[in-house]
Structure 1
Amino acid sequence: MFRYVLVASAILACAYAAATYSPDGSAYITKIGSDIQPEGNYNYQYETSNGIAAQESGIGGNHANGAFSWYSPEGQLVQISYLADENGYQPQGALLPTPPPIPAEILRSLEYIRTHPQYVDQDYRRPALKRLIG
């Protein structure tokens, strides 16, 4: 009886290990480099054995641009590049979602608004109390 329990436990342990095995768990760094200057300029880059890579350069606290990439579970290379500055983080890549196109009716109405300026009543611009007093 003990033998059967021992064999069944060994089979279950092997099945569990095979189901949870990840080749990414044994990935290692194949390339790495960095440079930091006293003026605040910096850059770094790295690559791993499983295809993950990243690089960035910039001026500390002011500006940075870089890119990173990896392989999806389907084997597709995913690449993202970015710029970070006073306008915020601005990523670009084929994987990132994009907004749907603006419908033609909305574009026509925006063009109409642009070409036909609105009339602004001068009385409307004065404070409400002055309008009441006259």
Structure 2
Amino acid sequence: MFKFVMICAIFGMAVALSPGHVSSRGEDVHAEVKSEHSDVRADGFDSDLLVSNSIQQAASGDEHGNIHGSFSWVSPEGEHVEIKYVADEHGYQPSGAVLPTPPPIPVEIARALAWLEAHPQHQEPSHHH
């Protein structure tokens, strides 16, 4: 799992930074890496990247494949966009203001779910003859 996630992360950064990559902002084609740091150890890793077009990435992981990280960029509209994430035994869990969120559960449904939880149905043992 750990190796797969690292390979995906490296591939994604390589594609995003490749010279032929075309984005909605013309200067992205000429973006340069301002700083990059990687420390891969037996017990995990730490990495960070800063690109001249305001793209940033940081991640750290442990020997169990658990990863905490973030990446950010400036949208074509000038908005700073940041995604934070955790990748662990529960899967990939991103968070950020730009991610869609489900609508709230209607009060009536929430009330019905609470009632069902407070009044569990007991299964009658079936009698087979």
What TM-score range do you get, normalising by the shorter chain?
A: 0.7 to 0.9
Q: For 1:7-36, what per-residue CA distance to the aligned partner results, in whole angstroms no more than 9, with x for missing partners? A: xxxxxxxxxxxxx98111111111111111
Listed as ranges, the matches of 1:1-134 within 5 Å are 22-37=26-41, 39-60=42-63, 62-123=65-126, 131=128, 133=129
RMSD: 1.8
Task: Give TM-score scaled by structure 1 length.
Answer: 0.73
Unaligned runs of 5+ residues in structure 1 are 1-19
Q: Within 2, Cα distance between the matches of 1:79 and 1:21? A: 18
Identity %: 42
Q: Within 2, Cα distance between the matches of 1:21 and 1:116? A: 57
Unaligned runs of 5+ residues in structure 2 are 1-23
Task: Report what 1:3 is aligned to.
Answer: none
Q: Within 1, Cα distance between the matches of 2:52 and 2:97? A: 23
**Larger radius of gyration between Structure 1 and Structure 2:** 1
Q: Within 1, Cα distance between the matches of 2:118 and 2:93? A: 32
- AA aligned opposite 1:47: L
Name the structure, 1 or 2, with higher relative contact order (CA <8 Å, separation 6+): 2
- AA aligned opposite 1:92: S
By how many angstroms is 1:60 displaced? 4.6
Q: For 1:52-76, what per-residue CA distance to the aligned partner results, in whole angstroms no more than 9, with x for missing partners? A: 0001111255211110000101000
Q: Within 1, Cα distance between the matches of 2:59 and 2:84? A: 10
Q: Within 2, Cα distance between the matches of 1:64 and 1:33? A: 16
Higher helix share: 1
Tell me which stretches of 4 or more aligned residues in structure 1 moved more than 2 Å: none
